[in-house]
């Protein structure tokens, strides 16, 4: 049966869900394909989140390791563990989630010149967008955002 397994890359992340009335982060591992269906190279966390699949597999890392199947719609945001270099020229936004919590983020993605405003970025067709927080990539579910203010 091992022959039928598709090799995956394990990516450790923090996933933020609603727990009661607040956002709670849980350490998990996502399973990424070695090749992306959308671009050259490996599949990314953003690829998985913006794919058509409603549920994705993960491994819960808090305490005992447990396999879980996550509903994409329940995820507020996902933070990568590794730090990356931030671009100081990117626009900073204060995002208020539907729970009322406010967190400052910086846009991470490069935007085309004719679509470079924050509102253009937020109105893209994808459900998850890439931001930066504390030198880490954060993928935010637009459906969990209540309000955005430019900082």
Mean per-residue pLDDT, 85-110: 91
Identify the three-state secondary structure at position 45.
helix
- Residue pair 50/126 in contact by the 8 Å Cβ criterion: yes
With b for 16 or more beta-carbon neighbours within 10 A and e for fewer, the 49-85 pattern comes to: bbeeeeebebebeeeeeeeeebebeebbbbbbeeeee
Range of weakest confidence among 31-35, 57-61, 115-119, 122-126:
115-119
Joined tokens for residue 13: 């992340």
User: From its phi and psi, is residue 134 left (phi > 0), alpha (psi between -120 and 50) or beta?
Assistant: left
Range of weakest confidence among 2-16, 48-62, 86-100:
2-16
Q: Do 71 and 89 belong together in one domain?
A: no
**pLDDT score, position 1:** 47
Q: Do 56 and 100 belong together in one domain?
A: no
Residue 6's domain comprises 2-81
Distance (Å, rounded) from C-alpha 89 to C-alpha 27? 30
Q: Do 27 and 76 belong together in one domain?
A: yes
Distance (Å, rounded) from C-alpha 23 to C-alpha 75? 10
Joined tokens for residue 15: 């996933």
Q: Do 77 and 87 belong together in one domain?
A: no
**pLDDT score, position 65:** 86
**pLDDT score, position 140:** 98
**CA atoms lying within 13 Å on the CB side of residue 79:** 16
pTM for the whole structure: 0.90
Q: Do 6 and 76 belong together in one domain?
A: yes
- What are the helix and strand counts (H, E) for the chain? 2, 10
**pLDDT score, position 22:** 87
Give the residue, 35 or 143, on which the prediction is more confident.
143
Q: Is the pLDDT assigned to residue 105 strictly greater than 80?
A: yes
Distance (Å, rounded) from C-alpha 93 to C-alpha 151? 5
Q: Do 8 and 57 belong together in one domain?
A: yes
Q: Do 100 and 71 belong together in one domain?
A: no
Q: Do 71 and 119 belong together in one domain?
A: no
Distance (Å, rounded) from C-alpha 146 to C-alpha 151? 16
Beta-bridged to residue 27, according to DSSP, are: 14
């Amino acid at each position: 049966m091992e022959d039928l397994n598709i090799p995956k890359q394990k990516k450790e992340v923090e996933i933020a869900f609603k727990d009661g009335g607040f956002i709670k982060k849980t350490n998990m591992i996502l399973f990424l394909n070695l090749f992306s269906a959308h671009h050259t190279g490996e599949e990314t966390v953003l690829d998985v989140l913006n794919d058509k699949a409603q549920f994705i597999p993960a491994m819960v890392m808090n305490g005992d390791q447990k396999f879980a199947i996550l509903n994409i719609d329940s995820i507020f945001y996902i933070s990568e563990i590794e730090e990356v270099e931030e671009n100081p020229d990117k626009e900073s936004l204060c995002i208020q989630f539907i729970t009322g919590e406010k967190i400052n983020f910086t846009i991470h993605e490069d935007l085309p010149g004719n679509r470079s405003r924050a509102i253009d970025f937020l109105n893209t067709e994808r459900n998850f967008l890439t931001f930066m927080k504390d030198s880490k990539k954060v993928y935010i579910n637009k459906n969990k955002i209540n309000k955005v203010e430019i900082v």
